[in-house]
Amino acid sequence: MLLQRSDLPAYAAHLASRDGGSAAAVLKRLERELADGALCLLDVFVTLDPLDRRVTGAVRLVSVAERVAILTEWRGDEGSGTYEELFALFSEATARAIDRAIEEVITRIEDRAITPDYERALRCAGFRLTGRRIEYKTPVCRLPCAPPSRLTWRTMADAGDELVLNVLREASVETPDGVDVEAGPGAIGQLLGRAYTTLDPRTAQIGSLDGDPIAVVLVRVDRHSGWSTLPFMGIVPEGRGLGLGRQVHLRGLETIRALGGTLYHDGTDESNVAMVRLFERHDCVKHSRMGAWRWPA
Ligand SMILES: CC(C)(COP(=O)(O)OP(=O)(O)OC[C@H]1O[C@@H](n2cnc3c(N)ncnc32)[C@H](O)[C@@H]1OP(=O)(O)O)[C@@H](O)C(=O)NCCC(=O)NCCS
């Protein structure tokens, strides 16, 4: 069912019990997100214990591009998460996606979290398994530093968003990890989590080789928690396989460090051998394997 305003404290308590931390701090964060529009109650779906209105499990729909959203992994108490409960939540979430004109919902489920009921509920709600992903979580202090690079770097503020969009588009071909930038500069803001103009200019950078712009890296750092990721990094097809991927990845890691990131969380499709090699080379710690599911409208 949809999360009611009056059940927000119960939702905060549920999140705190899963992620650690105090329910009061989580409630404060949720209220801040509600106030600044980052959270909409219509995007949160919960199951409740009918006796005490305790939230026993939840999923949330989060936009990542104009017509693309992520459905968070189901996180429920022991004994909750029956097929009926999950099917009802996923059906509500996809109905909400249709209301919001979202064409694609992606959900990534860790191998250790998926159950036969979970899988059946996803399939019956219209989701299909589209790939497998490896994720890494590494303290930033354990990541290597960037040696001198053959690439020269400019921020998007200096290079212009048209150029960044062009390189993003080209670097997204022939890879399972490509991004859709047809929505224009707004697509970059979606990937970064906020409008670029409100962020440090180093969160979007273009790398050039002998004057040719061939690489791009986007950097996201949560100032409050230190959580960080590279929403996208890539090289145009002609520049791949020449050893430049290491330099692009190290540039991203160096920027995370410079922007105060403390935990680097990232991942790639299992079939992206070059990216998997980069994570391994750069001492990233494997955290989980997961199935990637997709719901098309
Ligand atoms: C992922 C990407 C950045 C890697 O850059 P690259 O310049 O092609 O990779 P490098 O030449 O630096 O090689 C990195 C490692 O992968 C290996 N590798 C590269 N291409 C490979 C391939 N096709 N098959 C197997 N291994 C490959 C290299 O041998 C190297 O391994 P090593 O460190 O053991 O020597 C690049 O392929 C790319 O832009 N892809 C499209 C965008 C993308 O998928 N981004 C990743 C997720 S956001």
CATH code: domain of residue 205: 3.40.630.30
Kindly state whether residue 225 falls inside one of the protein's structural domains. yes
In a domain, 264, yes or no: yes
139 domain residue, yes or no: no
CB 231 less than 6 A from any atom of ligand 1: no
Which of 98, 114, 133 is where one domain is finished? 133
Sheet strands (E) in the chain: 44-49, 54-65, 68-71, 75-76, 104-110, 128-139, 152-155, 204-209, 212-221, 227-235, 263-269, 286-296
Q: Is the CB of 168 under 6 A from ligand 1?
A: no
For residue 233, report the distance from its CA to the centre of ligand 1, in Å: 11
Q: Does a structural domain hold residue 213?
A: yes
- Determine whether the shortest distance from the Cβ of 136 to ligand 1 is under 6 A: no
Question: Considering the domain boundaries, does residue 269 fall inside one?
Answer: yes
- Residue of minimum CA distance from atom 4 in ligand 1: 245
Q: What is the value of pTM for the model shown? A: 0.86
Same domain? For 148 and 127 the reply is: no
In-domain check, residue 295: no
Number of H helices, E strands in the chain: 9, 12
Is 162 in the same domain as 205? yes
241 Cα–ligand 1 center, Å: 6
Task: Report the separation in Å between the CA atom of 89 and the middle of ligand 1, taken as the mean of its atom positions.
Answer: 39
196 and 127, same structural domain? Answer: no
Evaluate whether residue 291 is within a structural domain.
Answer: no
Residue-level pLDDT at 289: 97
Same domain, 81 and 199: no
**Domain end among 103, 133, 163:** 133
- Is the domain of 163 the same as that of 81? no
Task: Provide the number of structural domains found in the chain.
Answer: 2
C-alpha to C-alpha distance for 100 and 246, rounded to whole angstroms:
39
Domain that holds residue 34: 5-133
d(CA 63, CA 193): 9
As averages over each run of 10 residues, the pLDDT of the chain (297 residues) reads 93 92 94 93 93 93 87 89 94 96 95 94 97 97 92 97 96 92 87 93 98 98 94 97 96 98 97 97 97 94
Are 92 and 162 found together in one domain?
Answer: no
Looking at the structure, tell me whether residues 117 and 159 fall in a common domain.
no
- Maximum CA extent, the chain: 67
Candidates 264, 275, 276: which one to mutate for ligand 1, based on the most atoms within 8 Å of Cβ?
A: 275
Report the Cα 265 to chain-centroid distance in Å: 9
Residues 165, 96 share a domain: no
Name which of 212, 282, 219 is nearest 247 in CA terms.
282
> 244: CA distance to ligand 1 center in Å?
8
Decide: 229 in ligand 1 pocket, CB within 6 A.
no
The residue whose CA has the least distance to atom 48 of ligand 1 is 232
Q: How far apart are CA 11 and CA 169, in angstroms?
A: 39
124 and 238 fall within a common domain: no
* DSSP-assigned letter for residue 97: H
What is the distance of C-alpha 97 from the center of its chain?
18
Whether 23 and 60 share a structural domain: yes
Does one domain contain both 276 and 158?
Answer: yes
